[in-house]
Amino acid sequence: MSDWTDDPTGGDMGEATSTPTGERDGPSGKEGLTLPSEVVGEPEAKQAQAHELEPDMSQEEEAERAEEEAIEKALVAETSEGDQELSPRSATPKVELFKEAGATLRIPEGSDSDIDVEVSDDQTMIINMGPQHPSTHGVLRIMMELDGETVLRTKPVVGYLHTGMEKTGEELTYVQGATNVTRMDYLSPLNNELVFSLATEELLGIELPERAVWIRMLLSELNRMSSHLMWLATNGMDLGSTSMMIYGFRERELVLGFFEKTTGLRMNHNFIRPGGVAADLPDGWEEDVELICDTIEASLLEYEELLTGQPIFRGRTEGIGILDPDTAVALSVTGPMLRASGVPWDLRRAMPYLHYDQVDFDVIVGTYGDTFDRYAVRFNEIRESIKIVRQVVERMPAGDYRAQDKKVTPPPRARIDESMEALIHHFKVFTEGFRVPEGETYVAIESPRGELGCYMVSDGSNKPLRMHIRAPSFVNLQSLPVLLRGGLVADAIAVISSVDPVMGEVDR
Partner 1 sequence: MGSDLAEVVHVGRDDYLATVASYKASGFEMCADLCAVDYMTQPNRPLPVDVTPERFEVVVNLLSLSQHRRVRIRVQVPERDPVLPSLFELYPGSEAMEREAFDLMGISFEGHPDLTRILMPEDWEGHPLRKDYAVGRVPVQFKEAPGPR
Binding site residues, partner 1, CB under 8 A? 78, 80-84, 96, 99, 101-109, 158-159, 162, 164, 166-168, 171, 198, 202, 329-334, 343, 345, 350-353, 438, 440-444, 451, 453, 455, 457, 459, 465-466, 468, 470, 474-475, 477-478, 507-508
Closest approach, Cβ 350 to partner 1, in A, equals 5
Q: How far is the CB of 497 from partner 1 (least distance, A)?
A: 20
Least Å distance, CB 217 to partner 1, is 14
Strand partners, 124: none
Instruction: From 411, 336, 395, 414, select the one nearest 370 (Cα to Cα).
Output: 336
Strands 141-147 and 439-447: unpaired
∠ CA(183), CA(187), CA(191), 5° rounding? 70
Looking at beta carbons only, is 285 or 455 nearer to partner 1?
A: 455
* Closer Cβ to partner 1, 87 or 308, answer by number: 87
The answer to whether the beta carbons of residues 166 and 399 sit under 8 Å apart is no
Q: Which is nearer to partner 1, 150 or 441 (CB)?
A: 441
Which residues have C-beta within 8 Å of that of residue 318, sequence separation ≥ 6?
370, 371, 372
For residues 288 and 296, give the distance between their C-alpha atoms in angstroms, rounded to a whole number. 12
Counted residue by residue, the chain has a size of 508
Q: Which residue, 233 or 456, is less far from partner 1 as judged by CB? A: 456
Closest CA to 246 of 317, 186, 299: 299
Q: Which is nearer to partner 1, 101 or 281 (CB)?
A: 101
Q: Give the nearest distance from C-beta 331 to partner 1 in angstroms.
A: 4
DSSP codes joined into one string, 380-400: HHHHHHHHHHHHHHHHPPPS-
- Please report which residue ranges of 276-368 form alpha helices under DSSP H: 285-303, 311-317, 325-330, 336-340, 347-350
- Residues 231 and 224 sit within 8 Å (Cβ to Cβ): no
Q: How far is the CB of 359 from partner 1 (least distance, A)?
A: 16
Q: Which is nearer to partner 1, 148 or 460 (CB)?
A: 460
| Smallest distance from partner 1 to CB 84, Å | 5
Least Å distance, CB 170 to partner 1, is 8
The least CB distance from residue 443 to partner 1, in Å, is: 5
Distance CA 221, CA 229 (A): 12
The whole-angstrom distance between residue 265's C-alpha and the CA centroid of its chain comes to 22
Whose Cβ is closer to partner 1: residue 39's or residue 363's?
363
Query: What's the longest Cα–Cα distance across the chain?
Result: 95
> 239 vs 343, which CB is nearer to partner 1?
343
**Shortest separation between residue 453's beta carbon and partner 1, angstroms:** 5
| CB of 210 vs partner 1, minimal distance in Å | 17
Report the C-alpha gap between 156 and 58 in whole angstroms: 47
By C-beta, is 64 or 202 nearer to partner 1? 202
Nearest approach in angstroms of CB 355 to partner 1 is 12
**Shortest Cβ distance from residue 466 to partner 1 (Å)?**
5
Are 269 and 189 contacting, i.e. CB atoms less than 8 angstroms apart? yes
> By C-alpha distance, which of 103, 87, 150, 160 is closest to 130?
160
**Nearest to partner 1 of 42, 451 (CB atom):** 451
Name, in order, each residue with C-beta under 8 angstroms of 214's C-beta and a sequence gap of 6 or more: 355, 392, 395, 396, 397
346 by Cβ neighbours in 10 Å (0-12 / 13-18 / 19+) ranks as: buried
Strand 276-277 relative to strand 272-273: parallel, antiparallel, unpaired?
A: antiparallel
**Measured from the CB atom, is 465 or 489 closer to partner 1?**
465
Burial class (CB in 10 A: 0-12, 13-18, 19+), 380: middle
256 vs 377, which CB is nearer to partner 1? 377
Residues in contact with 51: Cβ distance below 8 Å, sequence separation at least 6, in sequence order: none
Return all residues near 417 (Cβ < 8 A) that are at least 6 apart: none
